Structure 1
Amino acid sequence: MFTAIGRFAATRARGILVVALLGLIAAGAVGFTVFGKLKPDGFADPAAESSKVTDAINAEFGGQVDVVAMVSARTGTVDDDAVLADATDLADRIADDPAVAEAVSYWGTGAPSLKSEDGRHGMIAVKLEDEDLTAAEEFRDRFVDASTDAYDVSLGGPVMTSVEARTQVGKDLALAEAIAVPIILVLLVFAFGSLVAASLPLLIGAATVFGTFAALSGIASATDVSIYSINLTTALSLGLAVDYALLMVSRFREELSSGRSVEDAVVRTVQTAGRTIVFSALTVAVALAVLTIFPLFFLRSFAYSGIGVVLIAMVTSIVVLPALLKVLGYRVNAGKLSWFKKTPSAVSPFWRRVASVVSARPILCALPVIAVLVLGAAPVLKSEFGTPDDRVLPESTQTRTVGDTLRSEFPDDNSRAIQVVVQDEVSARQVAEYAGRLSTLPDVARVESSAGIFTDGAAQGVPPTAAAMGKPEVQRLAVITEDDARSAGAQELVHNIRDTAGPAGTDPQVGGSAATLVDSKEAISSRLPLAAGLIALSTFILLFLFTGSVLQPIRALVFNVLGLSATIGVLVLIFQEGWLSGFLGFTPMPLDTSMLMLFFCIAFGLSMDYEVFVLSRIKEGHDLGLDRRAAVVDGLSHTGRIVSTAAVLIAVNFFAFGTGGVSFLQMFGIGAGLAIMVDATLIRGVLVPAGMRLLGRAAWWAPKPLRALHNKIGLSEAAPPELPQRADVQVQREKTPALD
């Protein structure tokens, strides 16, 4: 198969490039339509109880608060004459705005819950006609400059958080690429030693980005896709383009230097490096495909974009890039910089020495590395999990300012309320009894209902919104707690409310921010065993088909999980415990559950990417007749420079997201970059050669039935046409004694 692909690319090179160029232009035209179709949310399970409560509130009670307009007196309080008249007028103008369905203000109701404890801040709670972000942005633009000499106006709330996040993501993406691309280009020039070769990964990356944007545009027309998938598309596109182009171009140069013609070099490159890329791409795609089993469209969106990136990068790398190499021929080395006396060698003396030392003393070398990784993984034991809110944004944003003020100055803020909906016909007495029972639960400040306000089981008056909280066949109760929605106390309260009997013959449903977190964690954790099993099984099958061994997949899985666990432990210290929070400019919080799951799948896939790179060359040496130690040394010496260079380049791309202003994207970028560096150095450089040495003869073992199966369906590398004896292999045979 790979020989045929290589021949096709070599003999139809110009035609392939013309078709690729036309496809790129079309993808660019379609791809730019994707940005207006993406959504900023997707962190909730649409089938969960909390989501059903949100739907019921939207349908029966006009929805929950979308926007909070915070009026902050410059001096005095919001009851002062200097504030009163203008603030009342502002509330009226907001209520009359065409985008607003309903607005409730402190100045219109006098409700204590709409005024801060110190009296400096008053609130206008706004429900929009719909949650279209474009309409919300226009609403923001109409009132963002509503401040006067007497007070300041700031806009916050859930919809404004989404608007601000979309704006921030765009800024972060531009900044990250502005930082990463020039650095990567410079590093590519040093890695390849020529300007022409260095430009190839960027060309592949651009084609992958535009192709994936076009695919996402089509998907977003049919289903919900998260706006954050754009970040993954750009980062992963450039990363895989660097990985695959480094492998292909390095192998092409190696084959040219061995005396092959340009056409034969292209064919042999596809036979070897192309085969490696296909298996590598499949392992990454399978890891990302697992995200589709989760009901949160935030995670499914990354499966769509990630799989698109992988497949497009794979096709362009094994079809378009070989065609380009055929056209370039020896000119692939053109544009050589003056300080490079010769093209960088495919063989790395440094990694040859590392592999030799580790293979000679595998236990002595592996134990310190394992100890460091286990120590790094220890903080995982105290990890906490949450869902995003306005605190993922920088403190300087208006949305964040409003959120911080609500949390610190509005203890009676209903936005923290746990919402309870009873969708049955019940009497006022039954509502009062149920609200009274709920008010006696631990950590409940009060319960508001159509039957009144209840504290510690006793009625305390009637809320201003009582008439709007009950209908003949549906009731809404707000359980107010001073606990933060992400706190363990608030989550425990959700469980307690769900365990509390409702009015006879009814089945109350519980929602709100804390309940959404509880349900989202359940939606992910309940599917984790299946996800882990699918990843392990698919990885095992692919690596077995690649190697014919049953122990190589197990070794790879164990090493990858060890490296990823250490990386997650470091993320706990940074983003949960607050290490480097001042330097990076984020607020320490529990780790975002969805983003952590995404990080694991991406990092696992990229780790397997490098596993296949190294293992393919080791197997090639093994198949050529090298003894086990020589095959490992030869394999790592040929791939060590490629893997380490690719890791640095892709890590730069991911680390650039650490400069952004959305904290869970910072966590993803820094985590992915760190995981890649750990994998390319400690795992590939030390544990892989040590593990191969300790496995010995068993490294390539498989039971007879599986061996026979592999012989039938495994994709084996084609024999090289007119292959001369490789000089470096012959030298290695002479210098490396057998260790059997």
Structure 2
Amino acid sequence: MPAHPVPEPSRATRPAAPPTLLARLGRSTGRHPLWWVLAWVVAALVSFAVAVGGVTGESLFDRLTSGEPRVPGQSQTAREVIQQVEPSLDTVMLQVDGAPLGDPRALEAAAVATGRITQLAGVVRVRSPLLSPQGLDDPAVRPLLAGGSPDRGRFVTIVDLAGGRADSELAATRTSVEAGLATVVEALPGATGSVGSYHHVIKAITGTIESDLVRGEGIALPLTFLVMVLVFGGFIAAGMPISGAVVSIGGALLSLFAFSHALDLDATVVNIVTLLGLGLSIDYGLLTVSRFREELSVGPGGTPTREQAVVAAERTVATAGRTVLFSGVTVAIALAGLLIFEAEIMRAIGLAGVSVVLVAMVVAVTLVPALAVLGSGRLSRRASRSVEDTGAFSRLAASVQRRPFVVIVGGLVALAALASPTLDMRLTASGTELLPVSAPQRAFFDTLRSDYPALAAPEVTVVARTSDTAAVRTALEPFEAAPGVTDLTVRPLGGEHQLAAFQVEGPPTSNEAQDLVTALSQLRPGFETWVTGQASGQIDFLDSMARGAPWAIGLVVLGTFVLLFLMTGSVVIPLKALLLNVISLGAALGVVVWVFQHGNLEGLLRFTSVGAVESMVPFLVLAFGFGLSMDYELFLLSRIVEEHEAGADNDRAVALGLQRTGRIITSAALLIIIVFAGFIAGDILIIKEMGTALVAAVLIDATIVRMLLVPATMTVLGRWNWWAPGPLRRLHTRYGLRH
């Protein structure tokens, strides 16, 4: 359908913006820009000093944890029973390679050094083949020897530390134990040793995340600055969104530090939330600076007066600021959906994400306009009507409007093809697999699993409430024949429970392990049982997420629909936007499955596939990706609505809206892709998956959806885009949000 040549009302004839709250905020920012900038500089310095500098005695990275997500269920119940009867001990392990186990003198010296470790304060038990009175031929020490034999010259020493002590005492004990283990290796000529523990894994993950964060921002910020120099044609304008992004990152880290005192924050939360804050800040800053320059161009040539800069700030915050607030509230609604889930890590990400979005919003409508006013002289040099009514994007809109049905069918087919890999998506919850294969702690535990299988934690564990060990064994023996099961042991767990451990081939969340958990969960042997282990925890987590998903989706859909209705006065546009976003997110998840589960691009992206996608990723992609998709939807829709309210008909409003936001959306998409690509370059697997998913979501949304499907569907629907039932029209007339 061709665009109708309805003339656009000139800016000079448009009515002045009403003195809304945002307009008043913009005027205040314009009149006192230096005070706003100084306030934000102080806030940023304090944020970084507290969250990263450790001025309070510890930094955010000192307070992070790591582990599989946990939710209420039989797996968690079983863990609590085990913990109550046999509190878990902090363990330090030593793997020795190349030891001269046939040299009696070396063995004696190493045994003496190992014996000294047993005398250290805080050490509960030391398990080592060197301490066996019967020597290395003792059957009891075979699990501690690689291959069950001393011939390989490799063995393990395990030191159990007493728990329930102050962190400083535990740290001192670890240091003493590791020093003692080093003397054991020194007593064995030619031997090498490596130390591993859960504590070391946490340090490795948090340390890697910290370095990934620095690396990601080190890649993203300079590249985005260079791109914005090209977009704005100057260093001053380009630096404004970057300055806002840096301040937002400080606020993000400070909010995470605060939440870490109320919640156990998983280490991956930091990069996920910071990534979002950085991307949104750059998007919002780009939109704000572009609109300020456009508003500044209305005045006469030459250096703008102070009042002209103030008016430009007022109009910018009233228009672009309105879009920023709409977008921010929409992203916050999407992240608020995470608060409904039972998993604490999802709630933590939701809370932290909402707080980061709020910081990015406030920065965009205060700090960035204030910087723009201070730099208005430089901005005005290139402000000669930066957005015209015709151009590449209006021509694209006209081309789409000539063949809308072809565009719609082609776009949907492309999205369906991208989404197709999700049909066989498998989920997992990795531990050390989050680290790259080359990481010392990943290598330590990979070697432990392959060379000392008897020491590996059982893939599936059953806790039975009964004192009859024989009855438990009788009930569970049929499951020894289940696919993948290699061993079953049953022992008493205190006086009232029994503990049964199944060893299963393959990874802890393999199909065999999950099938075994499902079968054991249906067992009714006459006494109460609970199944735990990584596979069981994974099943409980997904069941919990499935229970919360309808409520979370309902909250996000309802909140977004209401917000878009208040902005557009239409019920058709919100429904279409929601539908297109769901389809594009499905395509983004398909890309993640194709890359990470199927193992494509392993060399390029530097990862080793675990044959599945991390269990949190789909839910986080739906929350974060939905918010980012609506970000661009609002950039485009707000301008289309603005032109439609100014008198343009449907097709003309779509063409003008696309022309005036196409460059911004394209630039914003390119910048946010750079941001997320910086995190794909990191080493933590889940961060790579999130970065890849969001790059795919932004790329798909800013091209296929926003540039093609949105104008095509709006052309087909015509005046029906703006339809709403009579009662809702009257409601919008009274309460709708307008420019």
TM range (shorter): 0.7 to 0.9
1:696-735 superposed matches below 5 A:
696-717=718-739
User: Could you give the per-residue CA deviations for residues 597-650 of structure 1, whole angstroms, max 9, x where no partner exists?
Assistant: 112211110110010000001111111111211111110111011111111111
Shift of 1:275: 0.6
Secondary structure at the aligned position of 1:527 is classed as: helix
2:403 to 361, 372, 396: 361
2:494 counterpart of 1:447: no
2:334 paired with 1:287: yes
Indicate yes or no: 2:122 matched with 1:122. no
Name the SS of the counterpart of 1:416 in structure 2: coil
Q: What amino acid does structure 1 have at the position aligned with 2:78? A: V
Distance 1:87 1:416 in 2: 30
Say whether the 8 Å CA contact 1:196–1:333 is kept in structure 2. no
Structure 2 residue identity aligned to 1:122? F
Q: CA deviation at 1:57?
A: 2.4
**Contact in 2 for aligned 1:420/1:510 (Cα 8 Å):** yes
How much has 1:296 moved relative to structure 2?
2.3
Partner of 2:4: none
What SS does structure 1 have at the residue aligned with 2:485? coil
Distance 1:139 1:359 in 2: 74
Q: Which moved more, 1:306-315 or 1:85-94?
A: 85-94
2:65 matched to 1:40? yes
Which whole-Å CA distance do the structure 2 matches of 1:527 and 1:127 have between them?
Answer: 39
Counterparts of 2:734 and 2:690, CA distance in 1: 41
- Paired with 1:608 and 1:82, the residues of 2 have a C-alpha distance of 71
- Name the structure 1 match of 2:418: 376
1:43 and 1:594 in contact (8 A); partners too: no
Shift in CA distance, 392/97, structure 1 to aligned 2, threshold 3 Å:
farther
Q: Secondary structure at the match of 1:445?
A: strand
- Residues 115-514 of structure 1 mapped to structure 2, 5 A cutoff: 115-117=145-147, 119=149, 120=152, 121-130=154-163, 138=175, 142=179, 147-148=185-186, 149-259=189-299, 261-332=308-379, 345=387, 349-424=391-466, 426-434=467-475, 436=477, 439=480, 441-450=482-491, 469-502=492-525, 504=526, 506-514=527-535
Residue correspondence of structure 1 range 488-637 to structure 2 within 5 A: 488-502=511-525, 504=526, 506-589=527-610, 590-637=612-659
What is the distance in 1 between the residues matched to 2:541 and 2:422? 20
2:686 aligned residue (655, 664, 671): 664
Aligned counterpart for 1:25 among listed residues 38, 41, 45: 45
2:699 maps to which residue?
677
1:93 positional shift: 5.2
Aligned to 1:460: none
Partners of 2:76 and 2:120 in 1: how far apart?
28
- Asked if the contact 2:178/2:195 (under 8 Å) is kept, the reply is no
- Judging changes above 3 Å, is the alpha-carbon distance between structure 1 residues 157 and 28 closer, same or farther for their aligned structure 2 residues? closer
TM-score (norm 2): 0.87
Shift of 1:536: 1.6
Distance 1:130 1:296, change over 3 A: farther
Q: CA deviation at 1:63?
A: 1.6
RMSD: 2.8
* Matched AA of 1:470: L
Task: List per-residue Cα deviations over 1:536-585 (Å, max 9, x = no partner).
Answer: 22211111111111111111111111111111111111101110112222
Partners of 1:169 and 1:253 lie apart in 2 by 38
Give the direction of change, closer, same or farther, for the CA distance of 1:596–1:448 in structure 2 (3 Å limit).
Answer: same
1:191-245 Cα shifts (integer Å, max 9, x gaps): 1111111111111112111122222222221222222222134322221121111
Secondary structure in 1 aligned to 2:461? strand
User: Which shows bigger deviation, 135-144 or 167-176?
Assistant: 135-144
1:167–1:92 distance in 2 versus 1, CA, 3 Å:
farther
Structure 2, gaps ≥5 residues long: 1-20, 133-139, 301-307
Distance change (3 Å), C-alpha of 1:412 and 1:333: farther
Question: Which amino acid is 1:610 matched to?
Answer: Y
What is the TM-score when the length of structure 1 is the normalising length? 0.87
What amino acid is the match of 1:472?
Answer: G
Matching residue's letter, 1:238: L
Structure 1 pair 265/81, CA: closer, same or farther in 2 (3 Å)?
same
Q: Give the 3 Å change call, closer, same or farther, for CA 536–412 of structure 1 in structure 2.
A: same
User: 1:176 Cα shift?
Assistant: 1.4
Counterpart CA distance in 1 for 2:627 and 2:113 is 53
Give how far 1:67 is off: 4.5
Cα deviation per residue 1:177-202 (whole Å; 9 max; x = unaligned)? 22221111111111111111111111
* Contact 1:63–1:127 (CA under 8 A) maintained in structure 2: no
The more displaced of 515-524 and 26-35 is 26-35
Q: Cα 1:83–1:349, aligned 2, differ >3 Å: closer, same or farther?
A: farther
Q: Return the alpha-carbon distance in structure 2 between the equivalents of residues 660 and 596 of structure 1.
A: 20
Give the whole-Å Cα distance in 2 for the aligned partners of 1:38 and 1:356. 55
Q: What is the alpha-carbon distance in structure 1 between the residues aligned to residue 71 and residue 114 of structure 2?
A: 34
- State the shift of 1:292 in Å: 1.5
Cα distance in 1 between the residues matched to 2:520 and 2:539 = 13
Cα offsets for 1:424-453 (capped at 9, x unmatched): 5x1444344345455455543232233xxx
Farther off after superposition, 590-599 or 219-228? 219-228
- Residues 1:517 and 1:233: Cα distance change in structure 2 (over 3 Å): closer
Q: Distance in 1 between matches of 2:703 and 2:623?
A: 20
Q: Secondary structure at the match of 1:549?
A: coil
Q: What letter matches 1:26 in structure 2? A: V
Mapped to 2, the partners of 1:636 and 1:527 lie a distance apart of 37
Indicate the residue corresponding to 1:51 in structure 2: 76
* Cα pair 1:377 1:565 within 8 Å, conserved: yes
**CA spacing shift, 1:557–1:80, aligned 2, 3 Å:** farther
Given the superposition, is the C-alpha separation of residues 299 and 484 from structure 1 closer, same or farther in structure 2, using an over 3 Å criterion?
A: same
Q: Is the 8 A contact 2:521 2:531 kept in 1?
A: yes
CA shift for structure 1 position 693:
0.5
Separation in structure 2 between the aligned mates of residue 614 and residue 244 of structure 1, nearest angstrom: 13
Provide the secondary structure at the position in 1 that maps to 2:147. coil
Q: Residue 715 of structure 2 aligns with which residue?
A: 693
Of 22, 44, 57, the residue aligned with 1:2 is 22
Task: Show structure 1 runs of 5+ residues with no match.
Answer: 451-468, 718-740
Question: Within 1, Cα distance between the matches of 2:42 and 2:163?
Answer: 40
User: After superposition, what is the alpha-carbon deviation per residue over 1:272-291, rounded to whole angstroms, capped at 9, x for unaligned?
Assistant: 11110000001111111111
C-alpha deviation, 1:79, in angstroms: 6.9
Q: Distance in 1 between matches of 2:193 and 2:596?
A: 31
Distance in 2 of aligned mates of 1:604 and 1:280: 11
2:89–2:161 Cα contact (<8 Å) kept: no
Provide closer, same or farther for how the CA distance between residues 674 and 70 of structure 1 changes in structure 2, counting only shifts above 3 A: same
| Aligned counterparts of 2:207 and 2:228: Cα–Cα separation in 1 | 31
* Aligned twin of 2:136: none
